[in-house]
Amino acid sequence: MKNFLSLLLLCFFSALLAGLGFSLYCVTASSNGKSGDVIIDIPQGSSLSKISEILEQSGAIRGRLRLKVLAKLMKVERGLKYGEYQFTLPMTPLALLKKMASGDVVAYLITFPEGCTIFDVAQYIDNAGLCSGALVTNKATDSQFIQSLGIAGESLEGYLFPETYKFNRGSPPEAILKRMVDRFNKIFDQGIETQAAYTGFSKKQVITLASLVEKEAGRKDEKPLIAAVFLNRLKKGMRLECDPTVIYSFKRENRSFNERLNKNHLKKESPYNTYLNTGLPPGPICNPGIESIRAILNPARVSYLYFVSRNDGTHQFSESFEQHNRAVTTYQRKH
């Protein structure tokens, strides 16, 4: 009986010491000599065993098994998020798991300027190292994916709202593009939707017109004037004769196209060539900002039908072809 009690006490104290040791492990930072900020990437789909291996090899923890036990006790073994983490070592296993369970990954800021195209968006994402630009372009022109987002068209051009976003490295292109479309939907709210309905244009047509304004306007105060020119020409059945639509048609074939337009360019057959076709191009030619959208919904009340660049970021507007020709002579043929 005495030996049994001794054995029982020994087991009790052993378990107590083991529990205290494990508790100490949970709240004590690793003493493997590593210190400072380290970036550790946890690939998508990594198991708890793989995560423990990566963390140990990176010097963030000591003892994979104990980390796995702690993750199970915390009930986060299936809730650890993948991505790129910045850990300030030494760090306790408890704090480390909490950070990963919350998905506190490194975020990258990317600014997409107004007027950027889907090709530009893909390049910005590729340059930031978030994911392949080619994958972004492919997904932005994937008919099933586009339809799943409720967009009518052959691409997401026009619906990737341009502003600054935070993304995580390794984010799939679907998640990035959906985030931008969701932002567009939030901006193009019920109020704007109602205004658009009064114009007689569909949402797609409004965005298409806004994209033309975005590409033509150098200054915010000229956007309602340029919008008025396009709307006035449409009412009269005139061709829009918008250079950026022609440039876009070439960009669709060759991403690196950067030539100055000449007469031969303007003669090339394309549904986006507004020098040859009347009406709107098939869809937006870029992703316009809110001011360009508002310009289409609230154009200036003018009778202008033409405009030409003054080569200083502004335009000269004209009501007649004769006035326009004089303006072209003044501002373009001397350059």
Q: What's the CATH code of the domain at 113? A: 3.30.1490
36 assigned to some structural domain: yes
Residue 301 confidence (pLDDT) above 70: yes
Domain membership flag for residue 324? no
User: Which carries the bigger pLDDT value, residue 106 or residue 170?
Assistant: 106
Identify the pLDDT of residue 333. Answer: 63
Q: What's the pLDDT tens digit per position in 60-109?
A: 888 788 888 888 888 888 888 888 888 888 888 888 889 989 888 888 89
Which pair of tokens denotes residue 201?
Answer: 């244009």
Choose one of 69, 89, 105: the last residue of a domain.
105
Helical axes 93-101 vs 64-73, angle rounded to 10°: 60
Query: Can you tell me the mean pLDDT for 208-229?
Result: 96
Cis peptide before 244 (omega within 30 of 0): no
Query: Coil, strand, or helix at residue 236?
Result: coil
Please indicate, yes or no, whether residues 139 and 177 belong to a single structural domain of this protein.
yes
What local confidence, expressed as pLDDT, does residue 244 receive?
96
Rounded Cα–Cα distance for residues 278 and 276 (Å)? 7
pLDDT at 29: 56
pLDDT at res. 30: 60
331 pLDDT band, cuts 50/70/90, is confident
Q: How far apart are CA 207 and CA 241, in angstroms?
A: 18
For the chain, how many structural domains are there in total?
Answer: 3
pLDDT on residue 281: 97
Phi-psi region at 324: left, alpha or beta (left = phi > 0; alpha = psi -120 to 50): alpha
Cross-strand pairs, 86: 39
Range of the domain at 255: 200-304
Q: Is residue 149 part of a domain?
A: yes
Looking at the fold, whether 208 and 254 belong to one and the same domain comes out as yes
Lowest model confidence (mean pLDDT) among 57-71, 130-144, 288-302: 57-71
Tell whether 78 and 122 lie within a shared domain. no
- Give mean pLDDT, residues 304-318: 92
Give the chain's mean pLDDT: 88
Give the model's pLDDT for residue 158. Answer: 97
Q: Is the pLDDT of residue 218 over 90?
A: no
Structure tokens at 301: 């009340």
| pLDDT for residue 198 is more than 90 | no
Grade residue 169 by pLDDT with cuts at 50, 70 and 90.
confident
| Global model pTM greater than 0.95 | no
- Please report which confidence band the pLDDT of residue 27 belongs to, taking 50, 70 and 90 as the band edges: very low
Alpha helices by DSSP H, listed for the chain, are 2-27, 48-57, 64-73, 93-101, 118-127, 133-140, 143-148, 173-187, 190-199, 203-216, 223-235, 243-253, 263-266, 290-297, 321-331
pLDDT at residue 8, as a whole number: 53
